Structure 1
Amino acid sequence: MTVHNIASLDQFKETLAKHPVVILDAFATWCGPCKAIAPTVAKWAQDPTYKDKTYFAKFDVDALPDLAQELGVRAMPTFYFFKDGEKVDTFTGANPPALLNMLNKYNPEGEETAEAADKAETPKSE
């Protein structure tokens, strides 16, 4: 699986209705930390531990200000976790270990890779 780009509010709502577990990355193209963590999130989206259980999505807060406002985005990157269409958690920042721990919280099978979170480096913005 890949990280899917959400291009409209309708697509966002369809995504939540269609997928039981969704992680949504609210980012901005000009955001250094967003650029730094994006490859890590893309790697997790390809990982067999998560790819069949979690739908990875992202949206540009500048392109979809209505969605950003609806979700209450105040800083980027902000990650939203949805389970069965309901927002269950939020995480702000480019901190791979903390984000991976939250990802594992909603994917119990991923707990075996929790050690990888401890070894993941916090990306540096350019």
Structure 2
Amino acid sequence: MVQNIKDMDELKTFLRSAGNKLVVVEFSAVWCGPCKRIYPLFHAMSLQYRNVMFAIVDVDSAQELARTYRINAIPTFQMFKQAQKVNLFSRIKRAMCCYRSGSLSTPIFELCGADAKKLEEKIQELM
């Protein structure tokens, strides 16, 4: 099941409740085409990987979270363990991301784009 996160307090509570489990957070928007395409796959992963917790943040209704986590493109997936961001890699493809700003620089903590295969590989690696 995918938890809808609306603000920083909800995210902090969600991360604390995960304990040692991997947490995957999707930052997206309802108007984003790639976000719409990846969501059913993201939801299916939440049912398949019962030992992983999944959440979604709408960047338009949770702008503070989007700023705090420096979301420049959507969909962006960030992963956490023990309430800390997991250091991953950066992947940007214009065709797969809806950009919210002119910046193409992204921190190395996230997966950007609607690439379900890469997302699932990282989940399996980090579980």
State the TM-score bracket (shorter-chain normalisation). Answer: 0.7 to 0.9
SS at match of 1:105: helix
SS at match of 1:104: helix
Q: Which amino acid aligns with 2:117?
A: P
How many residues get paired?
Answer: 103
More helix by share: 1
Instruction: Give 1:68 deviation, angstroms.
Output: 0.4
Aligned to 1:81: 79
SS at match of 2:73: coil
SS at match of 1:57: strand
Instruction: Give 1:3 deviation, angstroms.
Output: 0.7
The runs of at least 4 consecutive aligned structure 1 residues that moved more than 6 Å come to none
C-alpha distance in structure 1 between counterparts of 2:34 and 2:122, whole Å:
18
TM-score by length of 1: 0.79
SS at match of 2:111: strand
Aligned to 1:4: 3
C-alpha distance in structure 2 between counterparts of 1:37 and 1:94, whole Å:
6
C-alpha distance in structure 2 between counterparts of 1:43 and 1:15, whole Å:
20
Counting aligned pairs with the same residue, the percent is 34
C-alpha distance in structure 1 between counterparts of 2:57 and 2:120, whole Å:
19
TM-score by length of 2: 0.78
Q: Which amino acid aligns with 1:84?
A: Q
Q: Any unmatched runs of 5+ in structure 1?
A: 108-126
CA deviations over 1:58-82 (Å, ceiling 9, x no partner): 0100001110011010100000000
Q: Any unmatched runs of 5+ in structure 2?
A: 89-109
C-alpha distance in structure 2 between counterparts of 1:95 and 1:8, whole Å:
26
1:57 aligns with 2:55: yes
Instruction: Give 1:34 deviation, angstroms.
Output: 0.2
